[in-house]
């Protein structure tokens, strides 16, 4: 079962990120806080219960604003039909993904301090993050 985050004080978090507090942003942030990894269409479906008629494009725009403001982060996984989003934790955690059902879980940093991995050749770049996805088969699908 996917882990969910603790309840979030959406207005405070939005103000802290320099974002204007609106009913739509609060609803999307609260929906995101209830799901560990959510696609925009899942967030849209959840928010529609509270704000009927909210457009999918509006939710896309809000998620993009959250990503730019470091309130949320995008998780791109191999073989996924769309990107997933999660609350930004300010760390460099990784993910494990079931190749059968697609379930995604967080994995803490594997070894050492962020970015956890050292590339064989950084091509002159200062590495600031490493994105690792472990892929396997979960117990339910086994």
Residue 27 pLDDT exceeds 90: yes
Residue 47 pLDDT exceeds 90: yes
Is 109 part of any known ligand binding site?
no
Query: Can you list the domains of the chain with their CATH numbers?
Result: 10-86 (1.10.10.10), 91-142 (3.30.1490.190)
Is 116 part of any known ligand binding site?
no
Q: What's the pLDDT at 2?
A: 41
Residue 68 pLDDT exceeds 50: yes
Q: Rounded CA gap, 59 and 142, in Å?
A: 35
**Mean pLDDT, rounded, of the chain:** 86
pLDDT tens per residue across span 111-138: 655 556 677 787 888 877 777 788 889 9
pTM, entire model: 0.77
* DSSP output for 71-117: SEEEE--TT-SS-EEEE--SS--EEEEETTT--EEEE--SSSSTT--
């Amino acid at each position: 079962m996917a882990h969910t985050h603790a309840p979030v004080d959406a207005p405070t978090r939005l103000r802290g990120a320099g974002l204007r507090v609106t009913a739509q942003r609060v609803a999307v942030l609260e929906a995101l806080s209830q799901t560990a990894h959510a696609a925009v269409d899942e967030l849209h479906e959840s928010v529609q219960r509270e704000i009927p008629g909210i457009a999918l494009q509006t939710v896309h725009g809000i998620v993009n604003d959250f990503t730019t403001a470091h309130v949320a982060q995008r998780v791109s996984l191999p073989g996924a039909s769309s990107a997933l989003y999660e609350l930004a934790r300010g760390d460099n955690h990784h993910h494990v993904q079931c190749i059968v059902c697609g379930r995604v879980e967080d994995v803490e940093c594997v070894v050492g301090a962020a970015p956890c991995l050292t590339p064989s050749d950084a091509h002159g770049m200062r590495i600031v993050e490493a994105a690792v996805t472990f892929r396997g088969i979960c117990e339910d699908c086994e």
